[in-house]
Structure 1
């Protein structure tokens, strides 16, 4: 099944609310992540965070993710200003398996390259390791729990293009 969609940097209040609605559906409702820890200071309108949004042909939000960079990423990347942090990647159940997640990761990596970043780190739920490995990410460090879900840190060094 082929579904038409586009991926863009989220601009304005409506796009950001669409990102948050996808995250609420996937993380809070589906995965039972407490809502009070799903949203953080990096979601504030004035935060230096890039949110990306996948939208279907009918204008329905299908997925989202975000990039922390510069000072906002320091705590997540071990203090390395050349590394961005990909996070909050979520795709609605009906859109899984259609390439939406890979397209979102690609858009986040493009945004990272535009900002001169050399690599992107992420914290992957262990069930999603294969997805990220297929996109060129390599796991490092010990497994850890985040919101009661097993995760591993992963990194991908970015090429120039």
Structure 2
């Protein structure tokens, strides 16, 4: 399934990505955002779930990878990252719509995520609710959120 979002004559395509076939694009985005920009240690960024989860990859109108996210089979969203120059241009929205449709197609009754505190309002727009108190993950303040 591919979802297109248009804004300011730019189009973003979101598609399922294979960890094996699209690893360069997926890793490149996450390294740029999490490791270089946010200072997450590489050993905390890469885990055993990457090879077995559902990855979403957003590309611009020139087919350049600009954002990614993943869905674990237990209904957890994570590793959402959009390259800095594409933030505020609805790439994250396109990724979220794709992930929510994917979760629905898999008949997941609820989905969860650990949101960075500054992104809480973004996720609330999709119906997610905060559950619990803030906690540190890789030195960054997060909260658990759920959508039923």
**Alpha-carbon distance in structure 2 between the residues aligned to 1:12 and 1:147:** 23
Structure 1 position 5 matched with structure 2 position 12: yes
Q: Any stretches of 5+ residues in structure 2 without a counterpart?
A: 1-7
What is residue 3 of structure 2 aligned with on the other side?
A: none
SS at structure 1 position matched to 2:22 = helix
Q: Any stretches of 5+ residues in structure 1 without a counterpart?
A: 74-83
More helix by percentage? 1
Question: Alpha carbon RMSD of aligned pairs, Å?
Answer: 1.2
Given that 1:85 and 1:121 are in contact with CA atoms closer than 8 Å, whether structure 2 keeps it comes out as yes
- Provide, for residues 9-29 of structure 1, a one-character-per-residue CA deviation record: whole Å limited to 9, x for no partner: 103634232111101000000
Q: 2:120 aligns with which of 120, 129, 147?
A: 129
- TM-score, normalised with respect to structure 1: 0.83
Given that 2:68 and 2:81 are in contact with CA atoms closer than 8 Å, whether structure 1 keeps it comes out as yes
- 4+ residue runs over 4 A deviation: none
What is residue 22 of structure 1 aligned with on the other side?
A: 29
- Provide, for residues 108-151 of structure 1, a one-character-per-residue CA deviation record: whole Å limited to 9, x for no partner: 11111111101110000001111111121110111110001000
Structure 1 position 114 matched with structure 2 position 114: no
**Alpha-carbon distance in structure 1 between the residues aligned to 2:9 and 2:128:** 26
- TM-score, normalised with respect to structure 2: 0.90
SS at structure 2 position matched to 1:41 = coil
